Amino acid sequence: MAWTASALAAGGLSWSAAPTSAAPTAVAASVGPTTGGWTVYHGDPLGTGTWTGLTAVNTSAPVWTSPQLDGEIYGQPHYAGGDVLVATENNTVYSLSAQTGSIVWSKHLATPVPNSDLPCGNISPVVGVTGTPVIDGSRRELFVVAEELTEDSVHHVLVGLDIGTGRVEVTVGVDPPGAEPAALLQRTGLNLDAGSVVFGMGGNYGDCAAYQGRVVSVAETGGSAAGYFTVAAGTGQDQGAVWMGGAAPAVDASGHVWVAVGNSSAHSSADRYDYSDSALELSSSLSLLSYFAPRDWAQDNAADRDMSTVPAVLNDGQVVVAGKSRIAYLLSGGGLGGIGGQEAELAVPCGDDIDGGVAVSGTTVYLPCLTGPVAVAARMRRLWSELAWPARSTGGCGRPSACGMTPHRPAKTPDGG
């Protein structure tokens, strides 16, 4: 299932999505652009999903609909330089006029990977660019990770393109040494940190092949090899996807990188802990600074209860993270607390999984429950559940976007966890 993107802000531009068929995708817009931009997943490095200039959203009708594009769209569209930029699973990047929806330029990067060439997964018929791109405005460059088929081999490649022309500026292979690339899916959005592009990697939907979750950092200039933080790195350990329902790693003002990790193959408390089912704080060089995991992490792993939202880093130093267990955890940003080290926890009233990007307003976090967003407030080292707004499965502000966050995944988006 794919997504179509719509510009939904009055006097601004942001995005929501609605499912389409597996046919090539058209992008629709409902307002004109401003001088601002939307260049990273959920609008800023922390992924807060908040645009203070937005005062109203009109979803009654699009202003324009683009021509049919050549593949499904899993990543969030971006807006920069007066154009809308979007990438497809057919490994094509498009620049569309934000005024008319017409194609300004397009660049086909490489042959995508047929679903039939992968050990499992539910993106079909081909897998190409899945994660949301990121734009460095100072370089006028958009970065994507493309899954490519080259001489019957699967590879993942970071590509940087000039946003004005589509000219390819950088290509860097990002497959981890020793990994089986066909077992990996680059699902998270991309972010920027100290001159590098950062993102996560996990497995295909179904966890059918051996892989290890990774956080990856690659210099924007492409002049050096990628750096990695590896989950489940010990002998005999595997899985631990960094996927977060498609959210990008959060990057704070100090350059620290915040991610959540899914389940691994460690299903017993007697197993050595492997940083699965966790929230991680990493340095810009991907050294581990602190981590949190529930005391029942092994049981969570056995039941596929991933930690699957990006950590919400609040302005008061607290952190909120949640996942498929439908429990939200309040953590100290000064040190995440290790195993069982949460400040508070809260059973979230959600009828399905919680995974994807969050939205943050002050100390209130809007969690992406698949049956409708749920707000939790962090106060006095406790979590409180609050009514967000009436949950609706599609359209309007039923899932936060300009109102908070974008729809985070279709019903069966590959989680690799």
SS3 per residue for the chain: CEEEEEECECCCCCEEEEEECCCCCCCEECCCCCCCCECCHHHCCCCCCCCCCCCCECCCCCCEECCCCCCCCCCCCEEECCEEEEECCCCEEEEEECCCCCEEEEEECCCCEEHHHCCCCCCCCEECECCCCEEECCCCEEEEEEEEEECCEEEEEEEEEECCCCCEEEEEECCCCCCCHHHEECCCCCEEECCEEEEEEEECCCCCCCCECEEEEEECCCCCCCEEEECCCCCCCCECCCCHHHCCCEECCCCCEEEEECCECCCCCCCCCCCCCEEEEECCCCCEEEEEECCCHHHHHHCCCCECECCEECCCCEEEEEECCCEEEEEECCCCCEECCCCEEEECCCCCCECECCEEECCEEEECECCCCEEEEEECCEEEEECCCCCCCCCCCCCCCCCCCCCCCCCCCCCCC
For the stretch 113-164, pLDDT in tens is 999 999 999 999 999 999 999 999 999 999 999 999 999 999 999 999 999 9
How many residues are listed for the chain in this entry?
Answer: 417
pLDDT grade for 346, boundaries at 50, 70 and 90 = very high
For the stretch 308-326, pLDDT in tens is 999 999 999 999 999 999 9
Mean pLDDT of 404-409: 34
Measured CA to CA, the distance from residue 63 to residue 29 in angstroms comes to 6
pLDDT at 225 over 90: no
The predicted structure's pLDDT at residue 76:
95
Superfamily of domain 2-386: YVTN repeat-like/Quinoprotein amine dehydrogenase (2.130.10.10)
User: What is the share, in percent, of the chain residues with pLDDT greater than 90?
Assistant: 73
Measured CA to CA, the distance from residue 375 to residue 150 in angstroms comes to 45
The predicted structure's pLDDT at residue 416:
53
pLDDT grade for 59, boundaries at 50, 70 and 90 = confident
**Mean pLDDT, the chain, integer:** 86
Lowest-pLDDT choice from 48-62, 210-224, 357-371: 48-62
The predicted structure's pLDDT at residue 133:
98
The predicted structure's pLDDT at residue 307:
96
The predicted structure's pLDDT at residue 103:
97
| Residue 20 half-sphere exposure toward CB, CA atoms < 13 A | 19
Model pTM score? 0.88
Measured CA to CA, the distance from residue 127 to residue 22 in angstroms comes to 12
Handedness of CA 336, 339, 343, 345 (dihedral sign): positive
pLDDT grade for 6, boundaries at 50, 70 and 90 = very low
pLDDT grade for 66, boundaries at 50, 70 and 90 = very high
Measured CA to CA, the distance from residue 23 to residue 1 in angstroms comes to 9
